[in-house]
Chain A
Amino acid sequence: MSEDLLAVAAQWRAAGERVAIATVVETWGSSPRPAGSRFIVSDAGHMAGSVSGGCIEGAVAEAAQSTMATGTPQLLDFGISDETAWEVGLACGGKLKVFLEKLG
């Protein structure tokens, strides 16, 4: 079966983990994953799904820590990466918005 990320998220939560769901809600340019794509992360270090080709999942997982702790959702903006700055972004030139929410 194709993976049902929401079912996986529910399993992690049932196992006692704190879980955050990240969803691509808007894209511009050559973003690799369309709106609606999901990435889930837990405080036990589990990760599944994707919101990009792997460029920003690390940053989303980091931002998810506070959402998992406080329950406050976040709307994250990612733009084109600048190789001269230590900034997370999309080398492909896409832009996207990711909504982060706690499951709980």
Chain B
Amino acid sequence: MTPEFLARLQAARAAKLPVAVCTRMPDGAQLLAPDDDMPAGLAEAAAAAIEADKTANHDNWFIHPHNPPLRLLIVGAVHAAQAMLPMAQGLGFAITVIDPRRAFATEERLPGVEINREWPDDAMAQLAPDTRTAIVTLTHDPKIDDPALDAALRSPAFYIGALGSRKTHARRLERLGELGHSPESLARIRAPIGLDIKAVTAAEIGLSIVAEIVATRRGAALSKRG
């Protein structure tokens, strides 16, 4: 790999562009999809690999997609959110914490992540969650969590989780139902949130949530909750 090629790759990744490194075996010639001109068929194979987020072998080319990081939107700059940050950062998530309450949403409490201090409906409109986005609501405050969940359910986010007891969640489902969400749509919300590891502390709750997001992403079988 030439330093110039690496610089191009890193620039594309910094710009959060989906690209793929195509390397010819065994001589190591390299092309960057989708920017470079490609031999017949390779461009299509690279596009498919980027879409599937999986490496591929096409003729004697190895196709290595580099997609932008998965995004994690955390609504509520609470203790459990703080606990999730180092774990989710270590897993490579690009994290945004959304909380209109200025006292909570401080750089001091949330080092190294993007902070959005808009109300969740505005924040969600700006952030436009896609299929590579996980959304977690942690405030327990319907004024903040409900609009975030409303927007999350209208998005193709791969994971939606909401903190709160079964009782709290039952009332939440009623309110969201009144906003027009069907039972099938509401079933996308993981609640009570997190894998059942009998979490007690904020760090343990954070671990259970992050683990559930990874399990969902990787297609692990999850038990029905609620």
Contact = CB atoms under 8 A, between A and B. Distances in A.
A6 B10 contact: yes
Contact of B25 (A7, A99, A103): A99
B25 A2 contact: no
Interface in A57-80: 73-75
A46 B133 CA distance: 35
A103 B55 contact: no
Contacts of B112: 1
B92 A10 contact: no
Interface in A67-104: 73-75, 99, 101-104
B28 A7 contact: no
Contacts, number: 55
B27 interface: yes
B62 interface: yes
A101 B2 CA distance: 10
Main secondary structure of the interface of A (DSSP, over half): mixed
Nearest to A7: B10
Contacts of A23: 23, 62, 64
A56 interface: no
Given A25-B62, A36-B55, A99-B28, A13 B10 contact: no
Interface centre among B9, B23, B55, B57 (most CB of A within 10 A): B55
Contacts of A25: 23, 25, 55, 57, 62
Contact of B89 (A2, A35, A75): A2
B1 interface: yes
A27 B28 CA distance: 19
Nearest to A14: B3
A74 B26 contact: yes
Given A10-B6, A13-B3, A21-B1, A2 B90 contact: yes
Contacts of B55: 25, 34-36
Interface string A40-54: 000000000000000
B199 interface: no
13 contacts: A7-B10, A10-B7, A10-B10, A25-B23, A25-B25, A26-B62, A34-B55, A36-B55, A73-B28, A99-B62, A101-B23, A101-B28, A104-B3
Given A6-B10, A74-B26, 16 more contacts: A1-B89, A1-B90, A7-B10, A10-B3, A10-B10, A13-B3, A25-B23, A34-B55, A35-B64, A36-B64, A73-B27, A73-B28, A75-B25, A99-B26, A101-B1, A103-B6
